[in-house]
Structure formats: structure tokens, C-alpha cells
Amino acid sequence: MEPREMILVLGANGQIGTELVTALRAKYGATSVIASDIRQARDNSNGPFELLDIMNPVAVNEAFAKHKVTQVYHLAAILSATGEQNPRLAWQVNMDGLLNVLEASVQFGVKKVFWPSSIAVFGNHSKKRLTPQYAVTDPDTIYGISKLAGERWCNYYYRTRGLDVRSLRYPGLISYGSKPGGGTTDYAVEIFYEAKAHGQYTCFLREDQRLPMMYMPDAIKATLALMEADGDKLRIRSSYNVSSLSFTPAELANAIKVQLPLFAVNYAPDFRQVIAETWPGSIDDNYARLDWGWEPDYDLQAMVADMLVHIPN
Ligand code: NAD
Ligand code: AKB
């Protein structure tokens, strides 16, 4: 019989972790998935939860040893907009935290590690439309710089230590399960709450700022598919481009107006507009489609309809 998987999720109380933990528990059983975060969960009744700071290597090692961890999903990070407010902290959490996790994974014989990168690895000189896997990567934000360096560290641990690290360059993620945590793409979640609550929204990006996006069910599907894929077929051990939606704030607003005709949007671009301008508008994810059969389920209309059903009035 195969030994039982013990899965540790770091940064589990964020936008992705909240939904990924539920999906992992449905697949592996509640007690096989240990959720952890630096802050308490709103509700930790669905399975084991621990307070854990990824910046503390001793505590990280203790958690790996105590739970006999076989798989890790490392989600703890400081995102793009918050990172620009405190670049040194963002670098420390995103970089030192990742190295603590990679080191512990080698030391405790973890079988597989998932760590997300981002479209933030791209920059001003990257091709903007259908940005390829191996485009120029010249990020301007400290977040993007830390993600690019993280990708290289993951590839390094795979190559030199044989660690089975797998990674996706997520686009902006849209969900209703938990609010986003300080990114440039957060407008695409906020807009739904404001549309429902107040019938109007002031967007911090320009109306024509196209960005790659993905609905959370597709992000969870991509994550689990990559983690279940045959390792021999994975040609990329830095991070895979993965793509689904591509729209501007005006296009998103129009899709919402189909269902809420009185919804009104104003535009007041702030410092996040400057970040968004350096990112691609759409992504070429051919490697993901060929290597592990990636295909998203949601288009813009289906995503909008599902969000509006789930967000309370
Ligand atoms: P989030 O900000 O919503 O959640 C991050 C979680 O990490 C939070 O619950 C926070 O409390 C926790 N955390 C912060 N510092 C910590 C520390 N020192 N120790 C332990 N936990 C700590 O972020 P998210 O949107 O869930 O993103 C998860 C990962 O996916 C991040 O690596 C992020 O860069 C990446 N990503 C997210 C998106 C997106 O649109 N959400 C897009 C691309 C990549
Ligand atoms: C952010 O905007 O910082 C994130 C991301 C695209 O990495 N949502």
C-alpha cells in the first residue's frame, strides 16, 4: 500500500490557499492536509491548522518533521502592490521564505513542492501579446524580481538536489471565497463586490489596461493537474506560463452590465497602473497545454455569471 500523503499548505489563509485547502481536503481527506499561516484562520474547523511563520527556519523544520510532510504547497508571499510599499520586507518574505521551504523539503525528503510564480516576472521589454514562455523577463517591481529569482532557485533545487518542484506563473486570479491580498489585479475582484453593494466602482487601473486573468476554479484545476502530472513529461522546472482570460476593466465592466444594467464605473488610476503597464496583456501557454494537457473551463461570460451568483447583495 502507498504511504499516506501528508500535505502542508503554507500561507493557507490567503486568496488561493482558502480554496486550495478545500480542494486538497476533498481529494486527500481533511486530516491529511495541514493548513498553516502567520495569521489565524477565520474558521479552522474543517481540518488541522497551525500558526507558522515561513521566515522562521527552525519552526518550518519542526512542522515538516512533526507532520512527516510528503507534499508542500508554498503560497505565503507579499504581492505586487503591497510589495512596493515595503520592498525589503517583500524581498525577505518572498526569497528567504522560499529558501527556508526548499531547504526543509530537501532535508525532510518531501516528494513534491508547489510554488507559484506570476506574470509579474515579465516587464517592459517582454512581448505584450501572447507573451511566450521564454520571453524577455525584466520585471520592475520587487515582487516580480523576487518571483523571477524564485523561479531560478526552484530550477536550481530541481537540477542540483533532485527536488521535484513544480510551478505556475499565475495570471491575476478572480474569486469570491476570500478577498485578494494586495495585488495589482485586485480590481477584477473588488469590482464585483462594489457592483453588488453600491452599483458603482472607481477602478484604480485605466479602462483600457489589458491583463491576463483566470477564474479560481481554473487556477485550482491547473495546480492539481500540474502536481498530478507525470514528472518525466515536465520540461519546465522554473515555472509554466498558464493562461485563460484576457480583458480590460472596461470589458469586464461591460460584461457585468449585461446582468446589472445600472452598474457605473469611474477610472482613477493610481500607482498600480504603472505596475500594470509593465505586464503582458495575454499569455502563450503552449508548453502547459502540450506537457500536461492544460485547458481552462471558464470564459469571461461564464466567470462573470458565476461570480455574480456567489457574491451577496
Ligand atoms: P494572499 O496575499 O491572499 O495570501 C498570502 C498568505 O500568506 C496570507 O494569508 C498571509 O497571511 C500569508 N503570509 C504572509 N507572510 C507570511 C509568513 N511570513 N509566514 C506565513 N504566512 C505568511 O496571496 P494569494 O493571492 O493567495 O497568493 C498566493 C501565492 O500565489 C503567492 O505566492 C502569490 O505571489 C501567488 N500569485 C497569486 C496571484 C493572485 O492573483 N492571487 C497571481 C499570481 C501569483
Ligand atoms: C498581483 O497583482 O500582484 C498578483 C499577481 C498577478 O501576481 N495578482
Spatial contact of 186 and 81, defined as CB atoms under 8 Å apart? yes
SS3 label, residue 58 = helix
Virtual torsion, Cα 242, 150, 11, 38, nearest 10 deg = -160
* 97 Cα nearest atom in ligand 1: 18
Phi-psi region of 47 (alpha: psi -120 to 50; beta: other; left: phi over 0): left
Q: Average pLDDT of 81-109?
A: 98
pLDDT digits (tens, 9 = 90+) for 164-217: 999 999 999 999 988 898 999 999 999 999 999 999 999 999 999 999 999 999
Spatial contact of 77 and 98, defined as CB atoms under 8 Å apart? no
42: CB partners within 8 A, 6+ apart: 13
Give the full edge-to-edge strand order of the sheet including 168-170.
117-118, 168-170, 240-241
312: CA distance to ligand 2 center in Å?
24
Q: What are phi and psi of 248, to 5 degrees?
A: -100, 165
What does the alpha-carbon distance between residue 89 and residue 73 come to, in Å, rounded to a whole number? 21
pLDDT score at 2: 65
What does the alpha-carbon distance between residue 181 and residue 82 come to, in Å, rounded to a whole number? 8
The reply to whether the predicted model has a pTM over 0.95 is yes
Q: Which residues are catalytic?
A: 143
**Shortest-distance Cα residue to atom 1 of ligand 2:** 183
Residues in contact with ligand 1 by the CB-under-6-Å rule are 10-11, 13-17, 37-39, 52-55, 75-77, 79, 93, 97, 116, 118, 170, 172-173, 180-183, 185
| Average pLDDT of every residue of the chain | 97
216: CA distance to ligand 1 center in Å?
14
Spatial contact of 220 and 177, defined as CB atoms under 8 Å apart? no
Q: Is the dihedral of CA 206, 252, 189, 298 positive or negative?
A: negative
Confidence class of residue 86 from pLDDT cuts 50, 70 and 90? Answer: very high
Q: Tell me the domains of the chain and their CATH numbers.
A: 7-171+215-241 (3.40.50.720), 173-213+245-283+292-310 (3.90.25)
259: CA distance to ligand 1 center in Å?
31
Instruction: Check residues 40 and 96 and name the one with the higher pLDDT.
Output: 96
